[in-house]
Amino acid sequence: MKKILMATVLFGSIWGFLECSVGDWLHGYDLSVLMAVMAIFLMAYTRRVYNQPGMQAGMALVAALLRHFNPMGACLICASIAIFVEGVAFEIIWALPWRNYKSYAMKAGMGIISFYAIYTVGYIATQILTPLLTAKFYWSDLTGVMPKILSHATIAGVIGAFALPAAYASLDVSIKDRLYYPVAAVITALCWIAVIAGI
Amino acid sequence: MEKAEKIVVVVAILLLSVGVASSYYVNQIEKENKELAEGNIILVGDTEINLDELFEKYEVKNVETTKGNFTGISLSALINETNIEEKDAHDYTVVGSDGYKQTVSWEDMKKGIITEEKKTVFPHLPGKFWVKDIVKIEVS
């Protein structure tokens, strides 16, 4: 359990760091969907390696916290909400029994469904929760933005068709316990320092 | 292929079809708004506002945000160019060329700016309220 907790903090910190660096850069080019794809891949990969339900929601919480503490960058509250909701959506989809099927068709199909759905749910959540927390929510704003969300979600879905099978086929990297904790702690600390320092 | 696999494949194809249809819709919206976007014109209610003329007429304002500093014309100045009465009694829906839209109040409009790149910046609101390539502002 200690190892899983460490991994949750480590991968959550890496995710948060990527959101604050690559994510902001991609957002500038209206390509936030690619950041979401990376995050979902990271969740899928860590779920396969650690096989611990709840871990990915924990990673999302860590990443959302890190995103929130970032002194620079775009829309801190929107991004934090989206990250956490993506983690919860992942847990819900991964609670379904689809992993009992080993075929490529199932993995590719679920890749499309999960990447598409997780991106869509995260985006919709920010569109609803952000105005509720900061201003006023209008349904017409959400309906207006839905075609754009679904359009971008298609990119996530298509990538997911390859990314999910890849996450389940990736090679494992093993590291001795003696090194695991110090390396994980150093990487985690570097991620947090980089983000808080605004690097 | 088992039944569960067939269901997953069908749902996946259905989702992608919805996505492709949405992409086509967004593309059509962008085509419809192309004239306004290229002409540097913003439709506010029924009034067409030329952005170049607006920048010549009004003083440029600087706002500081978490994303950096931005300069532009106050959005309230843009609204003042129209014949809208009782401005604080209305909501203002800022619409981008791709159909993205966000509704804000008059108080928000007074704090926000429009940049030369036709982007709204609201220093007091999260980035989701910022709209790029504005083509019109609907008044309700």
Report how far residue A41's alpha carbon sits from residue B114's, in angstroms, rounded to the nearest whole number: 37
User: Is the CB of B12 less than 8 angstroms away from the CB of A112?
Assistant: yes
* pLDDT at residue A199 is higher than 80: no
Into which CATH architecture does domain A2-196 fall? Orthogonal Bundle (1.10)
The complex scores an ipTM of 0.83
The token pair at A180 is 């695991």
Domain ranges in chain A are 2-196
* pLDDT at residue A24 is higher than 60: yes
Average pLDDT for residues A160-175, to the nearest whole number?
Answer: 85
SS3 B137: strand
CB atoms closer than 10 angstroms to residue B111: 17
Q: What is the dihedral of CA B30, B103, A149, A22, to 10 degrees?
A: 100
* pLDDT at residue A75 is higher than 60: no
Report how far residue B22's alpha carbon sits from residue B14's, in angstroms, rounded to the nearest whole number: 12
Per the CB < 8 A criterion, the answer to whether B61 and B84 are in contact is: no
**Among partner residues B15, B93, B132, which is closest to A112 by beta-carbon distance?**
B15
Put simply, whether B106 touches A (Cβ < 8 Å) is no
Q: Which residue of B has its CA nearest to A161?
A: B12
Whole-model pTM: value is 0.87
Paired strand residues for B97? none
Report how far residue B109's alpha carbon sits from residue B90's, in angstroms, rounded to the nearest whole number: 11
The pLDDT of residue A132 is 87
What are the pLDDT digits (tens) for B90-113? 999 999 988 899 999 999 999 999
The pLDDT of residue A23 is 84
**Among partner residues A76, A112, A147, which is closest to B22 by beta-carbon distance?**
A147
